[in-house]
Amino acid sequence: MAQQPDGTFQPELKENAEEAGLPPLEICPMSGAGEDETAMAGRLWPELPADPQIGRHRTTLAVHVADEARRMKSGSGGLVTWLAEDLLKRGEIDRVIHVRATGTDDPLLFEYAISRNPDDVRNGAKSRYYPVEMSRILQDLAASEGRAALVGVPCFIKAARGLISSGYLSGDQVPYMIGLVCGHLKSTHFAEYLAWQGGIAPGNLAWCDFREKLLDRPASDYGFAMRAKGSTPDQPAKIVPMADLKGKDWGEGLFRLTACEFCDDVLAECADIAIGDAWLPGFVDDPRGENVVVVRDARLAERIAQAGASGELVLSDVTPQEVARSQSSGLRHRREGLAHRLARRIDAGRSVPRKRVAPQLAQSAERRKIYDLRLKVAETSNDAFLVAKQQGALAQFDRKMAPLLRQLKRATYGSLPTRLLRRLKRELSRRMRAQ
């Protein structure tokens, strides 16, 4: 995997890859070759009901860790870290493969790393909306006797399953795959853009937390924390509510990776468990965070039920429909939106990968406009940010993006008066809740 100027990673095809012992192209989750997510999950859990939105499912739950301090240190409800640590402590695995801060002078802030003890696992908590790649770590695993739990967004999990099917890794080496529900991945520009607005210019950002919990707001209204180079970990980080930053709206798709435009897996359908944010009525108002969970593996279902009974985890039942509702925007973008993007590319005479949805333009003119504009925003933003960075001019990026973002906002949320009225209503209900 080779890093590109915008900080993303792309595969480099090597000649005679297979003779050199490298895995075949089909394992690339975006190639459109090989088994799709439905076939993989059907092979792994044939006994489970299949849902077109959330995939195979044994149980669906809302969960948070009971330990308050641990919950606060996590990105959401803390289940990913709890589970990874629990598997390690019980000897089911000897390492966790997940994403941690680099903590060095590395120009990249985060990377896939191996945690072999509970402290390191805990230090890796929180969501990283940042490009990462796992080839180096998986090469180490392939050459070892280790047993890992792999944490990853859906395409990484699918790639790991492909590595197992192609014999590059054995199933015993990755007995657990913990999937993160995924809206999309961002280039390094996302972190740099947020930090730049907070006063730390690109190149000077040493650390950031994309999910700082703000205790006076709902869980969905979190903050961005940042530290400049030269500051020490005991100095307080600068925290800015995401609501005050441009780039907060995930629907806009600023800095979205091109591969994400061709993904149709939101609920990590090939993972033993998929874990996301329960931004649902009854949960979203609690700033401490709650996970929405789809369990597929029987061992994990049993362990989570035990931990619920012993009080380590707090469990609530949610239906598969509620899980899908918690991800409705992401699912719409990856179903109707993907069908639309495929059709647009075919009309333009460009190739498309084989996907689980058939190419078809969106039914309504409004949705067609939204999907077309989102694509433009994603395509324009990475290049425009590179130029702004080279010229040291944040305002130049904002100026370049403003007309597109304005059009997208109007198409998505209506005219300015409609939006102001909606904002007023939201503010009133927030104040009433706070009283």
Ligand X SMILES: Cc1cc2nc3c(=O)[nH]c(=O)nc-3n(C[C@H](O)[C@H](O)[C@H](O)COP(=O)(O)OP(=O)(O)OC[C@H]3O[C@@H](n4cnc5c(N)ncnc54)[C@H](O)[C@@H]3O)c2cc1C
Q: Which residues bind ligand X (CB under 6 A)?
A: 74-81, 84, 98-100, 124-129, 132, 151-153, 180-183, 185, 275-277, 291, 327, 330
Nearer to ligand X, 40 or 125 (CB): 125
Minimal distance, residue 104 CB to ligand X, in Å: 17
Place of tokens 């597929």: 296
- Is the CB of residue 397 less than 8 Å from the CB of residue 190? no
Nearest CA-CA partner of 200 in 254, 249, 239, 233: 239
330 CA to centre of own chain: 11
Pairwise CA distance, residues 68 & 341, whole Å: 43
Nearest CA-CA partner of 371 in 251, 267, 259: 251
Nearer to ligand X, 80 or 318 (CB): 80
Nearer to ligand X, 200 or 293 (CB): 293
Pairwise CA distance, residues 107 & 98, whole Å: 19
SS3 170: coil
| Beta strand spans in 73-118 (E) | 95-101, 110-115
Nearer to ligand X, 8 or 291 (CB): 291
Nearer to ligand X, 235 or 328 (CB): 328
CA R_g for the chain: 21
SS3 435: coil
Nearer to ligand X, 114 or 352 (CB): 114
Minimal distance, residue 160 CB to ligand X, in Å: 11
Minimal distance, residue 231 CB to ligand X, in Å: 22
Nearer to ligand X, 7 or 330 (CB): 330
Tokens found for residue 47: 């006994």
Pairwise CA distance, residues 372 & 154, whole Å: 24
Minimal distance, residue 417 CB to ligand X, in Å: 30
| β pairing state of 238-241 and 223-228 | antiparallel
- Is the CB of residue 27 less than 8 Å from the CB of residue 34? yes
Q: Is 293 exposed, middle or buried (0-12, 13-18, 19+ CB in 10 A)?
A: buried
Tokens found for residue 253: 């798709």
Nearer to ligand X, 79 or 324 (CB): 79
Minimal distance, residue 426 CB to ligand X, in Å: 21
Minimal distance, residue 390 CB to ligand X, in Å: 26
Minimal distance, residue 334 CB to ligand X, in Å: 10
Q: Is 20 exposed, middle or buried (0-12, 13-18, 19+ CB in 10 A)?
A: exposed
Nearer to ligand X, 188 or 327 (CB): 327
Minimal distance, residue 152 CB to ligand X, in Å: 5
Minimal distance, residue 130 CB to ligand X, in Å: 6
